[in-house]
Amino acid sequence: MSNGTTGNVHLLDHPLVQHKLTLMRKKEASTNSFRRLLNELSMLMAYEVTRDMAMQEVQIETPLETMTAKVIDGKKLVFVSILRAGTGILDGMLTVVPGARVGHIGLYRDPKTLTAVEYYFKMPQNMQDRDVIIVDPMLATGNSAIAAVDRLKELGPKSIKFVCLLTCPEGIAALQKAHPDVPIYTAAIDRQLNDHGYILPGLGDAGDRMFGTR
Ligand code: URA
């Protein structure tokens, strides 16, 4: 997949990714098609974000002979979904890497201060042995992403990546300032944030569009 990388930001600019994202942005996209497209897009993003995943060699028997072949160790990988909108990306990623473990962080945005407030945190055991991929469709103010990485770093995982669908210069700057070691994977970098912390032109509230709650 073609991939534009600047610093620690990976822009996933494959035509299939961009096409599906455009369909999702349209205000007339139904809840059903929004969810389906997010699922398909997440599978494509999983392909890119797992590109450097560690592999191991195993002995297998083909119908003709024995050979040494490569497999990934999905059990070492943890997808961490930021509730609730991360669920949409998580589902697609698990389709592609079914052996991965899953963690959840519940964070909501205080509507006045836009700061992240934690209400849930549940991770697999032995996080120090694992590579973490955090998923959340929108990297907007960066507050939730920073809070999630802060918490995860307390558990000392081997690595942390952050995957979103959409971001903006403000979100990238905030996350990179707080955590310059965490690479960001995104399908688009939009123009700006508005006064309510929404990305412009964006796609609206990802959770509401995914679950049909507005
Ligand atoms: N969260 C959303 O769902 N949409 C935005 O534009 C910003 C944050």
Choose which residue among 24, 114, 199, 214 to substitute to test ligand 1 binding: the one with the highest number of ligand atoms within 8 A of its C-beta.
Answer: 199
**CA dist 136 → 42, 59, 77, 104, 105 (Å):** 11, 37, 17, 11, 10
Q: Looking at residue 3, what is its pLDDT?
A: 59
How many angstroms does the Cα of residue 92 sit away from the middle of ligand 1?
A: 20
How many angstroms does the Cα of residue 58 sit away from the middle of ligand 1?
A: 43
Q: Looking at residue 74, what is its pLDDT?
A: 67
pLDDT in tens, 7-16: 799 999 999 9
Which residue owns the Cα nearest ligand 1 atom 3?
205
Which residue owns the Cα nearest ligand 1 atom 7?
198
Which residue owns the Cα nearest ligand 1 atom 2?
205
Kindly give the pairing relationship between strand 192-193 and strand 199-200.
antiparallel
Q: Is the pLDDT of residue 141 over 80?
A: yes
User: Which contiguous run of DSSP H or E holds residue 184?
Assistant: strand 184-186
Choose which residue among 82, 114, 136, 138 to substitute to test ligand 1 binding: the one with the highest number of ligand atoms within 8 A of its C-beta.
Answer: 138
Start-to-end CA span in the chain (Å): 35
How many angstroms does the Cα of residue 195 sit away from the middle of ligand 1?
A: 12
Average confidence (pLDDT) over 24-35: 97
What confidence tier does 2 reach under pLDDT thresholds 50, 70, 90? very low
Predicted TM-score (pTM) of the model is 0.92
Which CATH code for domain 3-211?
3.40.50.2020
Catalytic residues: 109, 113, 205, 208
Q: Looking at residue 1, what is its pLDDT?
A: 45
pLDDT, greater one: 108 or 175:
175
Please give all residues whose beta carbon lies within 6 A of any atom in ligand 1, as ranges: 85, 138, 140, 197-199, 202, 205-207
Q: Is the pLDDT of residue 108 over 90?
A: no
> Is the link from the previous residue into 51 a cis peptide, with omega within 30 of 0?
no
The greatest distance separating any two alpha carbons of the chain, rounded to the nearest whole angstrom, comes to: 66
Ligand 1 nearest atom to the CA of residue 198, by list position: 6
For the chain, the structural domain boundaries read: 3-211
